[in-house]
């Protein structure tokens, strides 16, 4: 079947759901190759393939394990697909890849082949993060987000509520520190690396700012909202709520500080709850999870940066019908429920996120459907340069080697150059 005919068949009736279309005979007999990155190291990928093949016995899936290093993985896929290779047919990829792969023709624009009803299954914000210039290049597979972890025991002892605003978090942290109940108030990811871009997007978006305008043509980092966000972040360090070494912290350093019982609050990803309850941790049974705070209590909760992985289709694949069947099943209720229950991964399927049995599995899954998601500014092929401009300059301001205003002006200039590299 030609691709134009396939698009027509998949949108029969002006928006028929993919599952119904597949049951009408669109699912192909094929052998497809799935390039899959490691997931939780508990055999989840093999289990999902087994379940899929039981549902679609005419489609055989060969799983190829990809490098654990995301940059190496990306380089390998770019080389393979750029050469015109028809395999892998389907590949897992980072949520920040849509623009980079879409601009270079390395991923299929899924919305050209799937009805709009297909995309309604995903949690709010995920499809926007997978979109570049109006086309959706990735099907959200499983997600991650930033969460606030807090010491339940300390808050209870001091008769303090779980903070809903950033000012409240700072004030409560200082109270706990002044009572000598904990060494540090709040730890997060402040080093000059990708993790700081994620943290920055949470504060900046909550303050009402953006990295560039909607058209992606003009940098907007040098704004009052950005000044508000960065000034507050820096105040966490200068006030002593966060340690001076915060500017060197990545996820492991923040996690280990919290696990050791040395911080009242932690910003980290979904894995942090399980890590806090693992053998050797000094905070077992003492940790709660909440959405991130906000600058304005009326807007609670704040924003959580989107992490996770998408499923992409190789545009050179000779098995498009089978590929579409595969990604539809992998993002459907059965597979997504298995991911949540078998490996505690956060499902991208919103109905599964809100399922009572899934929510009961752990505190992160219990609240994930309530968080507000914000993507990194990856809607441009120039994202690596933009992210570097953000984390280098924000880190410099946090470390005190640049003023807040100078850091934002420099970042804005570098982002503008990345957006318009040919401008004089």
The residues with which 40 forms a beta bridge, in sequence order, are: none
Distance CA 83, CA 277 (A): 46
Contact 306, 313 (CB under 8 A): no
Of the candidates 257, 267, 262, 254, which has an alpha carbon nearest to the alpha carbon of residue 293?
A: 267
Contact 31, 317 (CB under 8 A): no
Q: Map residue 49 onto helix, strand or coil.
A: helix
What is the CATH class of 147-305+377-419?
A: alpha beta
36 vs 85, 91, 127, CA distance in Å? 17, 6, 20
pLDDT in tens, the chain (424 residues): 344 444 444 433 233 334 444 443 455 689 999 999 887 666 899 999 999 999 999 999 999 999 887 889 999 999 999 999 999 999 999 999 999 999 999 999 999 999 999 999 999 999 999 999 999 999 999 999 999 999 999 999 999 999 999 999 999 999 999 999 999 999 999 999 999 999 999 999 999 999 999 888 999 999 999 999 999 999 999 999 999 999 999 999 999 999 999 999 999 999 999 899 989 999 999 999 999 999 999 999 999 999 999 999 999 999 999 999 999 999 999 999 999 998 889 999 999 999 999 999 999 999 999 999 999 999 999 999 999 999 999 999 999 999 999 999 999 999 999 999 876 4
Domain boundaries, the chain: 3-143+306-374, 147-305+377-419
The span from the first CA to the last CA of the chain, in angstroms, equals: 48
What's the CATH number of domain 3-143+306-374, 3.20.20.30, 3.50.50.60, 3.40.50.620, 3.40.190.10?
3.40.190.10
Question: How many CA atoms lie within 13 Å of 97's alpha carbon, on the beta-carbon side?
Answer: 28
In 40-125, which ranges are continuous DSSP H helix?
Answer: 44-55, 70-82, 98-103, 116-119
Distance CA 94, CA 189 (A): 19
DSSP assignment string, 13-49: GGT--HHHHIIIIISPPEEEEEEE---TTTTHHHHHH
Q: Map residue 16 onto helix, strand or coil.
A: coil
What is the torsional sign of CA 150, 293, 198, 410?
negative
Q: Which phi and psi (to 5°) does residue 348 adopt? A: -85, -20
pTM assigned to the model: 0.86
Check if 3-143+306-374 and 147-305+377-419 are the same fold: yes
The residues with which 35 forms a beta bridge, in sequence order, are: 64, 91
């Amino acid at each position: 079947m030609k691709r134009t005919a396939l698009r027509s068949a998949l949108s029969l009736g002006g928006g028929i759901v993919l599952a119904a279309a597949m049951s009408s005979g669109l699912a192909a007999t094929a052998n497809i190759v799935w390039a899959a990155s490691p997931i939780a190291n508990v055999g989840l990928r093999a289990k999902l393939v087994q379940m899929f093949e039981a549902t679609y016995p005419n489609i055989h899936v060969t799983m190829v394990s990809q490098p654990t290093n995301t940059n190496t993985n990306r380089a390998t896929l770019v080389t393979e697909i750029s050469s015109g290779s028809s395999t892998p047919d389907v590949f897992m990829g980072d949520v920040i890849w849509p623009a980079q792969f879409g601009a270079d023709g390395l991923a299929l624009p899924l919305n050209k082949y799937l009805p709009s009803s297909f995309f309604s299954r995903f949690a709010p914000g995920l499809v926007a993060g997978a979109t570049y210039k109006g086309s959706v290049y990735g099907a959200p597979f499983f997600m991650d987000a930033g969460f606030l972890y807090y010491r339940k025991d300390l808050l209870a002892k001091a008769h303090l509520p779980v903070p809903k605003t950033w000012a409240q978090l700072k004030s409560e942290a200082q109270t706990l520190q002044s009572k000598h109940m904990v060494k540090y108030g709040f730890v997060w990811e402040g080093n000059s690396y990708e993790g700081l871009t994620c943290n920055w997007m949470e504060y900046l978006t909550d303050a009402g700012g953006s990295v560039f305008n909607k058209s992606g043509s003009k940098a907007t980092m040098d704004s009052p909202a950005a000044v508000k966000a960065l000034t507050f972040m820096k105040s966490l360090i200068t006030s002593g709520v966060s340690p001076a070494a915060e500017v060197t912290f990545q996820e492991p350093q923040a996690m280990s500080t919290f696990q050791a019982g040395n911080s009242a609050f932690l910003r980290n990803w979904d894995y942090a709850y399980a890590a806090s309850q693992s053998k050797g941790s000094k905070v077992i049974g003492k940790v709660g999870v909440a959405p991130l705070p906000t600058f304005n209590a009326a807007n609670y909760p704040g924003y959580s940066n989107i992490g996770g992985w998408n499923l992409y289709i190789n545009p050179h694949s000779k098995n498009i019908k089978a590929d579409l069947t595969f990604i539809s099943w992998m993002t459907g209720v059965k597979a997504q429920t298995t991911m949540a229950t078998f490996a505690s991964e956060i499902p991208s399927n919103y109905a599964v996120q809100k399922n009572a049995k899934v929510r009961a599995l752990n505190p992160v899954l219990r609240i994930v459907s309530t968080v507000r998601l914000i993507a990194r500014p990856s809607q441009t092929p120039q994202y690596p340069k933009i992210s570097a401009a953000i984390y280098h300059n924000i880190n410099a301001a946090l470390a005190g080697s640049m003023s807040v205003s100078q850091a934002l002006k420099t970042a804005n200039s570098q982002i503008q150059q990345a957006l318009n590299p040919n401008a004089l």
